[in-house]
Amino acid sequence: MGTGDVNGTAATLPAPVRDGFRAVAHHAFATGMRTAFLVAACVALLGTAASLALFRQPQSDTAPQSAGGQPG
């Protein structure tokens, strides 16, 4: 069953155990995928927070001038 052939493996089991085996295999797959998606979402969230914190807009050293041209 290392290759994911749940139906092939279930076919080799006795009849009373097949349905339970399929249910357990489905549950294990769904739980594993849920965990993988949660980890991926956390990594994406941390990456977003890190990029917002590390890539800030550059600060300008001069004060903005008025639209009229020369101050005064």
Q: Is the pLDDT of residue 26 over 80?
A: yes
Q: Where are the domains of the chain?
A: 19-52
Give CA–CA dist 16/56, Å, rounded. Answer: 62
Q: Is the pLDDT of residue 1 over 60?
A: no
Give CA–CA dist 29/39, Å, rounded. Answer: 15
pTM comes to 0.62
Please, which pLDDT band fits residue 22 given cuts at 50, 70 and 90?
very high
More confident residue, 44 or 58: 44
pLDDT tens column, 53-68: 888 767 766 666 666 6
Q: If 0-12 CB within 10 Å is exposed, 13-18 middle and 19+ buried, where does residue 6 land?
A: middle
